[in-house]
Structure 1
Amino acid sequence: MSWQNKKQPPFNDHLGVKIDEWQEGRVVISVTVLPEHLNSHGVPHGGFITTLIDIAGSYCGLYCPYPNRRRKSLTLSLTTNFTGRAKTNQLTAIGKLTSSGHKIFYSYTEVYDSVGTLLATGQMTMRYQTGSEILEGEAIEEHPAKTHHRIKV
């Protein structure tokens, strides 16, 4: 089993995020922009672009080459700088690990459209979850118990 077969979180699947390349310290993800991803100006919503930065900025520090194992983290800080408007509906985010310690890692991400327009950059500080500090990560449960969390409003 390779990274292409590792299951993504349901939110990433919902957004249509695809992992194109993944190696230690670097990830490339892509997505097709759909109407529900647009803001009132008809361009990808800033929150959508920031979400791509969050995904790529975490994945670049979470590579795990071992079958049936994974690594997880929590976002501590994320800064986004918007630099351009998308000209196409295909977006790519490239996340690069910039530094890491035992519990904390830092990353830098760039988001482009398919003609090379730089849309945004992001810097992140992440914390490894317990068991994810090493490349081997933790075992993936074969049949994880389904839990549903409700947010009270």
Structure 2
Amino acid sequence: MNDPSAIARACADAMLAEDAATRHLGMTIDRIGPGHAVLSMTVTGFMTNGHRICHGGFIFTLADSAFAFACNSYNQRAVAQHATITFVAPVYENDRLTATAREVSRRGRGGIYDVSVTNQAGEQIAEFRGHSRSMKGMHLPESA
């Protein structure tokens, strides 16, 4: 398999099969390609906090999952080394969030990815920056 887009899709499928958190929260992979991923999720009642808005941890988790699929799209296993998030606007039950991850830099074993989280109206909700670190192993067999 030499097509970078096909490799990214196959890596995403392999990761998603083992990613109980992403599946349990109802996230979907809307788009995937080398160095980028778009995931979405609908906020449910159990995701809200005492202010009746979405708990920031769930927004972070969506952004982190998009980051993970983007930085693992080259058939090289990678994990988060560091991540930060800035929350811009509140999120409510039944809002549909979309996290768009894009690669900023990938050199050696390190990568930097920005993730923008928006709601169903396209309004900015949060901005996330993740730093990845590649590790031993691949998602697909070398012959794939």
TM-score scaled by length of structure 1: 0.76
Q: How do residues 21-100 of structure 1 correspond to structure 2 at under 5 angstroms?
A: 21-64=31-74, 70-86=75-91, 89-100=95-106
Shift of 1:12: 0.7
Q: CA RMSD in A?
A: 2.1
Aligned letter for 1:139? Answer: P
Q: Does 1:102 align with 2:112?
A: no
8 Å contact kept, 2:114–2:130 = yes
The number of equivalent residue pairs is 131
8 Å contact kept, 1:131–1:138 = no
SS at 2:46 equivalent:
helix
Shift of 1:5: 4.4
Question: Identity of aligned pairs, percent?
Answer: 24
Other-structure match for 2:132: 126
Q: Which runs of 5+ in 2 are unaligned?
A: 1-5
Seen in structure 2, the aligned counterparts of structure 1 residues 63 and 90 have a Cα distance that, compared at 3 Å, is same
- Indicate the structure with greater helix content: 2
Aligned letter for 1:98? Answer: V
SS at 1:49 equivalent:
helix
Shift of 1:71: 3.9
Other-structure match for 1:139: 141
Aligned letter for 1:10? Answer: A
